[in-house]
Structure 1
Amino acid sequence: MKERQLLETAVKAADDKRAEDILVLNMKGISLVSDYFIICHGNSDRQVQAIAREIKEKAEELGYTIKRMEGFEEARWILIDIGDVVVHVFHRDERGYYNLERLWGDAPQERVGQ
């Protein structure tokens, strides 16, 4: 159940920084990369960075190691790899362009308390 705790913590951290349209995709059996994708966006570079920073800090407080964090400086699409959970924090403009929800349309959405 530790995986669920990580999911809930990451979603809450994103929500605390006012991330918009937070979506959790269950990637089990679909992707070899991770079990869950969290997708959200912010409306400015600073907000995107704040969301990513908060997720990273809260995951580390739970004892998780951030395996990789890419795109932080550019703040257009920040990827946070926490093992079984990968978080995609987009700038609003980039989220529409990449449209991961459509790309991974086969993945069921997971309800996580917000």
Structure 2
Amino acid sequence: MRSKETLSSRERALKCAIAALDKKAYDVKVLEIEPISSIADYLVLANGTSDKQVQAIAESVKQGLKKFGKALDIEGLQEGNWVIIDYGDVIVHVFLDERRRYYNLDELWENAAMLEIPEEYQWERAQG
């Protein structure tokens, strides 16, 4: 039996962000929270424009990370307005706009360092 490939938490967070961007997620951020919290090493925040897109983004993350192991938990996939995918060291939040604004995790974690997502995956910048 072949063992799963392993990733550092940083690599996992970036792969999650890239998988989200692959489905045209926008306002994607990777926050390094390990120095200020014990819940995870990184948070990945992303937006979708509809419940179907939020679900597609979450599925893309799940499928993109499948060969590195299963998520510990996934919440909100059926509803599609806020999906949380927990990998233990990385927690992915995929929101509809109004949910992200309402819960405002960006401000809650404003002291966290932000990881740079490689330019070639930033579809928003390419359109700008």
**TM-score, structure 1 normalization:** 0.93
- For residues 12-56 of structure 1, the C-alpha deviation after alignment (integer angstroms, 9 at most, x for no partner) is 110110001001110012111100000011000000000000101
Structure 1 or 2, whichever has the larger Rg, is: 2
Rounded Cα–Cα distance in structure 1 between residues aligned with 2:108 and 2:30: 14
- Are 1:92 and 2:97 matched, yes or no? yes
Residues 75 and 85 of structure 2 are in contact (CA less than 8 Å); yes or no, is this contact kept in structure 1? yes
Does the 8 Å contact 1:7/1:112 carry over to 2?
A: no
CA distance in 2 between counterparts of 1:110 and 1:9 reads 12
Name the CA distance, whole Å, in 2 between partners of 1:108 and 1:3: 15
Using the alignment, how far apart are the partners of 2:58 and 2:35 within structure 1?
Answer: 26
How many Å apart are 1:92 and its aligned residue? 1.3
1:105 aligns with 2:91: no
d(CA) in 2 for partners of 1:30 and 1:5? 19
Cα offsets for 1:48-68 (capped at 9, x unmatched): 00000010111112x222000
Taking the aligned partners of 1:77 and 1:37, their CA distance within structure 2 comes to 14
**Match in the other structure for 1:27:** 33
Q: Distance in 1 between matches of 2:35 and 2:99?
A: 27
CA RMSD of aligned residues (A): 1.2
- TM-score, normalisation: structure 2: 0.83
User: Are 1:44 and 2:50 matched, yes or no?
Assistant: yes
What stretches of structure 1 move > 6 A for 4+ residues in a row? none
Counterparts of 1:76 and 1:68 in 2: how far apart (Å)?
17
**Aligned residue pairs, count:** 113
Runs (5+) with no aligned partner, structure 1: none
